[in-house]
Amino acid sequence: MKPILSKKNKKNDLKIAVQRLLKGDLVILPTETVYGIGADATNNKAVKKIFHIKNRPFNNPIICHFENLEKVKEYVKLNEIALKMAEAFWPGPLTLILKKRENSPISPYVSNNNSMIGCRVPNHPLALKILKSLNRPIAAPSANITTKLSSTNVEHLDDKLKKNVFIINGGSCDVGLESTVVNTNNDKTKILRYGSITEEEIKNIISKIDSDIYENIEPLSPGQQNKHYSPNIPIRINVSEVCDGEVLLNFGSNKLFSNAFELNLSPSANLKEAAKNFFDYLHKLDDNKYKGIAVVPIPHTGLGKTINDRLKRAKATKK
C-alpha cells in the first residue's frame, strides 16, 4: 500500500504528483469541495483509468479542472452569461458546462463524446499548484467508488484507491459538498446539480435560471444518477423518530436521540457548518454494526437544498 503522504514534504510530493500525471497515472488530490481522483485530461488512456478504478459508467461525465479562467478559454468557449458567472465564482465550487473548441485536446471520454464539457477552477492551493506545474487540465471526479460517499479527508478513501493511487494529503476539505453545476448554453440557464454555491447566490448574478435538477435529460453533469453518495448501511431521511439500533444524523435542536450513536451536523442549525460536516459525519456513522442511519429533516433552503439532494440520492435503491 502506498503511504498517505504527510504534509511535511509537500513540494516534493507535488513534483511526484505532476510526474505521475504526465506519465498517465492517476493522482488523488484535495480541492475545497471534496477529494478528486485526477488524470491528465488530454490523455485518453489515463482518463479511462478513472472509470475503471471507480467502477464508473462511461456515460457519466467527468469535470475538468483548470488553473485559471485564461486556461479555460484555451480549451472551451464561454458565452456572455458563462463569463459573468466565471468572473463571479472562480476560483471556487462552480462547474460550468461549456462547448469545447474545435480540435480541443481534451479526451472525448471526459464528456462521453459530447462536445459539451464541465469546467471549473478549484479554490485550493495544492490543486492549483499541480495544475500550474502540469500546464494542462485535470479530469477529476470525486475520489470514491461509484455510488458511494464522497471523501472530504484521506481517511474516507476506499482501500482500493489507497492501494493503487498516489495521494496528496491536503487535510480536510473546507467546503465539504461538491461544486454546483450550471449549463449556460441553452435559452435558459439551468442548474444541473445543486452544490456548494446556492441557487440564491447564482440568482444574484443571473436572475432567470431553471433549477429543476430532477428533469430527465441527457447527462451533461456528474451527480445526476438516482443512486449516488450512498453509505453501506440503510439510510432513512426526514425522520420523526429513531428506531432501536439506528444511529442519528441530527441538525439543530430537537428531542430526537439514538440509543446507539449520534452526530449533529450543526447544533446551532448553521447550514454552512452542516455542509462541511456532511460527508465526514456520514462516513463516521456508516458502520455495519448499526441497523441504519436516521436523518432529521434539513431546511430546504440555501445549502440545505444541496444536502437534501445528496440525501435523496443516498437512499435511492436504483442507479
Q: List, for residues 224-237, the tens digit of each pLDDT value.
A: 556 568 899 999 99
The region of weakest confidence among 38-47, 134-143, 214-223, 280-289 is: 214-223
Q: How confident is the model at residue 108 (pLDDT cuts 50, 70, 90)?
A: very high
Average pLDDT over residues 242-259: 97
What pairing do the DSSP bridges indicate for beta strands 64-65 and 116-120? parallel
- pLDDT greater than 80 at residue 259: yes
Phi/psi of residue 20, nearest 5 degrees = -65, -40
Q: How confident is the model at residue 1 (pLDDT cuts 50, 70, 90)?
A: very low
The CA-based angle 264-177-232, given to 5 degrees, is 65
The region of weakest confidence among 114-123, 147-156, 184-193 is: 184-193
Phi/psi of residue 82, nearest 5 degrees = -60, -40
Residue 276 one-letter amino acid: K
The region of weakest confidence among 191-200, 202-211, 257-266 is: 202-211
72: left (phi over 0), alpha (psi -120 to 50) or beta: alpha
Q: How confident is the model at residue 309 (pLDDT cuts 50, 70, 90)?
A: very high
Q: How confident is the model at residue 185 (pLDDT cuts 50, 70, 90)?
A: confident
Phi/psi of residue 154, nearest 5 degrees = -70, -20
d(CA 276, CA 33): 9
Q: Are 93 and 120 in contact (CB under 8 A)?
A: yes
Q: How confident is the model at residue 220 (pLDDT cuts 50, 70, 90)?
A: low
- pLDDT greater than 70 at residue 2: no
pLDDT in tens, 6-40: 444 466 899 999 999 999 999 999 999 999 999 99
- pLDDT greater than 80 at residue 215: no
The region of weakest confidence among 141-155, 171-185, 213-227, 254-268 is: 213-227
d(CA 185, CA 96): 10
SS (H, E, C) 243-283: CCCEEEEECCCCCCCCCCCEEECCCCCCHHHHHHHHHHHHH
Average pLDDT over residues 236-241: 97
Average pLDDT over residues 209-213: 76
Q: What is the pTM of this model?
A: 0.92
Helices 125-134, 10-23: crossing angle, 10 deg rounding? 50
Distances (CA, A) of 114 to 98, 117, 221: 11, 7, 11
Q: Give the pLDDT of residue 268.
A: 98
Q: Are 292 and 246 in contact (CB under 8 A)?
A: yes
Phi/psi of residue 128, nearest 5 degrees = -70, -35
- pLDDT greater than 90 at residue 42: yes
Q: Are 65 and 31 in contact (CB under 8 A)?
A: yes
Which ranges constitute the DSSP H helices of the chain? 10-23, 44-54, 69-75, 80-89, 125-134, 159-164, 199-203, 271-285, 303-314
Q: Are 305 and 198 in contact (CB under 8 A)?
A: yes
pLDDT in tens, 124-171: 999 999 999 999 999 999 999 999 999 999 999 999 999 999 999 999
Copy the grid coordinates of residue 16.
Answer: 511526484
Q: How confident is the model at residue 118 (pLDDT cuts 50, 70, 90)?
A: very high
Percent of the chain with pLDDT over 70: 91
Sketch out the chain's domains with CATH numbers.
Answer: 10-210 (3.90.870.10), 235-314 (3.40.50.11030)
Percent of the chain with pLDDT over 90: 83
57 three-class SS: coil
Mean pLDDT over all residues of the chain?
A: 92
- The size of the chain, in residues, is 319
Q: Give the pLDDT of residue 212.
A: 73
